[in-house]
A and B are shown apart, each in its own frame.
Chain A
Amino acid sequence: MKLKQDRMSSAERIDSLFNYRRPDHVPITMIAPTFSCRNAGLPVRVAYSDPQLNFYAMQWAAEQYAWDQAPQIVRHTVVEAMDFGGDVRLPEGEYEGALMVKSYPVKSESDVEGLKMPEPDKTGMIGIAAELGRLQEAHGLPVTFVSRSPFTIASNVCGLQQFCKWLIKKPELCERLMKAAFDHTFNVLRYWADTFGAEKIFVFMSSPSESNQVISPKQFEKFALPYHLLYHERLKALGIKRFYFHVCGEQNLNLPSLADAPPWEHPAILSFGHEVDLETAAQRFPKDIICGNIEPAIIQTGSPQQVYELARTTLEKGKGIPGGFILSAGCELPVASPAANVFAITKAVDDFGWYAE
């Protein structure tokens, strides 16, 4: 679908943001690989198992709702517990929307010692991810590389509860797991750069385990932040320019130290949950493109009118952000979001999201 006064293509719109220029209207982007499957009448597991079907489902959803695929956010390239040998199964049934971990690869301290580094070209779901990458490449889209932060990957290799206890009692084990997570991420990313070329890659990272619903800002600063710094040193060395960071959940207390010396190249897309005020985010990260932050649960459970009004007020807050703004859900678009609610977001942009020529 085209909005009523489109003056730019989707790619031009996103490029303009990366060049600190106002686009024709506020772009809309969604983390929606599973929603797109349901939207196309497909089971959710397709997002994990069938790159062709998933890709075209995402393309249809993007066209239907006028989303800008900035980038097209797919399922994880690095699949954490699965990559390291855990027992993981595809989602089934009415209420499952993500991979289900049946057992973690690390269950005890001695498992940390014995943790084997996965082979980047054979790990987890890399074949499926590469096929999806080839489809993106063939359609002129950036090739997305999707992973979580090293801290989050490490916590998902041994289970968050165990990881939290080790943060205090056995921090050296957490360090080893984060180092393994970091090395694995970059082994796969190097393989990705060799396969597709660094200039085509758009890196997406999320960091749910770093939320202050779990850890303190001090723990964030001590354990997670050093890996963010290292991450971007390595990203720069690989020649990858575009970065999308979903700062997942309630991370208000982490923002000061993250903003102290943001390690990524500017501008990056920084996406926030509804827990973080957009104006605060814009003040903390003035050189970046702020993205967010309509509460996902309301998109799923509210009325179209309610979602429209929430999108309108979010646009009101975000539209004037000097570094640029993208309207989005505050996290992944819920699988069961009613079509009219998702359309209400698009309609709000069409009604209130335009910039003057």
Chain B
Amino acid sequence: MASEEKTREILKAIQDAVVGYDEETCERLCSSVLEEGIDPHRAVVEGLTGGMERVGELYNSQEYFVPELLLCADALNAGLNVLKPHLKIEDAARKGKLLIGVVEGDIHDIGKNLVRIMFEAAGWDVYDLGNNVKIERFVEEQKKANTDIVALSALMTTSMLAMPKIIGALKAQNPGVKVLVGGAPLSQEIAQRYGADAYAPDAVAAVKRAADLIG
């Protein structure tokens, strides 16, 4: 069993490996968490998620951009793959459930992928439908997974036209479900006009808006 000091040292090193997008080191440190008898749940929360929170700050301050974010996510996932099998069921109490996808007619999924990464890092259960997702599929999958929130992404002015129809269909099926929208052509004004519950200008903001929506 590692001492508290040693534990903190390892967790800090995991954070640094995520921030420094060092996949190999992150994987190795997460293996050492298990060897040293450190609680894997604590390593996820304070190490990996803590690292990704710092990444979010660097993104907000325009020190990190999409390339860095993607590599930080790879490092996080490398560590998570080591720790996940060792998490207890009671550790899996998640912040919320999110269904996410790029709307029909659109294959641009880098923004959606970043949003998914930030939600996963923040401890949400994420159901990712991919890109070019038909309206009916959003409705079916929301019912199946009973998610708190549905996040819709579009990069094209053509494909964003599917959003009000998806929102209408989701609300008709489940008036309680909250819908978050984002993507380059979207704005707060358009989100409101489309009947969305919230608009997020980027991946970091999306997590905050979602947390606000479910209180």
Give the complex CA separation of A72 and B196 in angstroms. Answer: 37
Give the complex CA separation of A44 and B184 in angstroms. Answer: 21
* Contacting pair B156 A97 (CB below 8 A): yes
Give the complex CA separation of A94 and B68 in angstroms. Answer: 35
B62 is an interface residue with CB less than 8 A from chain A: yes
A229 is an interface residue with CB less than 8 A from chain B: no
* Contacting pair A297 B157 (CB below 8 A): yes
* Contacting pair B159 A97 (CB below 8 A): yes
Q: Per-position contact with B for A145-178: 1 when CB-CB < 8 Å, else 0? A: 0000000000000001100110111000000000
CB distance from A243 to the nearest CB of B (A): 25
Closest to A98 in B: B156
* Contacting pair B105 A93 (CB below 8 A): yes
Contact residue among A95, A169, A216, A253 (Cβ-Cβ distance under 8 Å from B104): A95
Residues in A whose Cβ lies below 8 Å from that of B66: 164, 213-215
Residues in A whose Cβ lies below 8 Å from that of B193: 301
CB distance from A294 to the nearest CB of B (A): 13
Q: Tally of A-B residue pairs with Cβ under 8 A?
A: 91
Number of residues from B at the complex interface, CB < 8 A: 33
Q: Per-position contact with B for A80-96: 1 when CB-CB < 8 Å, else 0? A: 00000000000101111
A292 is an interface residue with CB less than 8 A from chain B: no
CB distance from B112 to the nearest CB of A (A): 11
Closest to B65 in A: A216
* Contacting pair B74 A253 (CB below 8 A): no
Residues in A whose Cβ lies below 8 Å from that of B185: 296-297, 300, 334
Give the complex CA separation of A169 and B190 in angstroms. Answer: 38
Residues in A whose Cβ lies below 8 Å from that of B119: none
Closest to B105 in A: A95
* Contacting pair B159 A95 (CB below 8 A): yes
* Contacting pair B62 A95 (CB below 8 A): no
Contact residue among B104, B108, B113 (Cβ-Cβ distance under 8 Å from A93): B104
Contact residue among A94, A213, A216 (Cβ-Cβ distance under 8 Å from B161): A94
A336 is an interface residue with CB less than 8 A from chain B: yes
CB within 8 Å of A: which B128-145 residues: 132
- Residue among A91, A95, A249 with the most chain B CB within 10 A? A95
Residues in A whose Cβ lies below 8 Å from that of B157: 97, 296-297, 300, 332, 334-336
CB within 8 Å of B: which A7-60 residues: 44
Residues in B whose Cβ lies below 8 Å from that of A169: 71
CB distance from A198 to the nearest CB of B (A): 34
Residues in A whose Cβ lies below 8 Å from that of B71: 165, 168-169
A212 is an interface residue with CB less than 8 A from chain B: yes
Give the complex CA separation of A160 and B193 in angstroms. Answer: 31
* Contacting pair B187 A215 (CB below 8 A): no
Residues in A whose Cβ lies below 8 Å from that of B13: none
* Contacting pair A297 B105 (CB below 8 A): no
A101 is an interface residue with CB less than 8 A from chain B: yes
Contact residue among B62, B107, B190 (Cβ-Cβ distance under 8 Å from A301): B190
B205 is an interface residue with CB less than 8 A from chain A: no
B186 is an interface residue with CB less than 8 A from chain A: yes
A117 is an interface residue with CB less than 8 A from chain B: no
* Contacting pair A168 B105 (CB below 8 A): no
A219 is an interface residue with CB less than 8 A from chain B: yes
* Contacting pair A253 B62 (CB below 8 A): yes
Closest to B156 in A: A97
Give the complex CA separation of A216 and B68 in angstroms. Answer: 10
* Contacting pair B65 A101 (CB below 8 A): no
Interface residues of A (CB under 8 A from B): 44, 91, 93-98, 100-101, 160-161, 164-165, 167-169, 212-216, 219, 249, 253, 296-297, 300-301, 332, 334-336
Interface residues of B (CB under 8 A from A): 21, 62, 64-68, 70-71, 74, 103-110, 113, 132, 156-162, 184-187, 190, 193
Can you sample 26 A-B contacts with CB below 8 Å?
A: A93-B104, A94-B105, A94-B161, A94-B162, A95-B158, A96-B106, A97-B159, A98-B156, A101-B107, A160-B108, A161-B109, A165-B71, A167-B67, A212-B65, A213-B66, A213-B184, A214-B65, A215-B65, A219-B65, A219-B67, A296-B185, A297-B160, A297-B187, A332-B157, A334-B157, A335-B157
Q: Given A94-B104, A95-B104, 19 other A-B contacts at CB below 8 A?
A: A95-B158, A95-B161, A98-B158, A100-B132, A164-B66, A164-B70, A165-B67, A165-B71, A168-B67, A168-B71, A169-B71, A214-B66, A214-B67, A219-B67, A296-B157, A297-B185, A300-B157, A301-B193, A334-B185
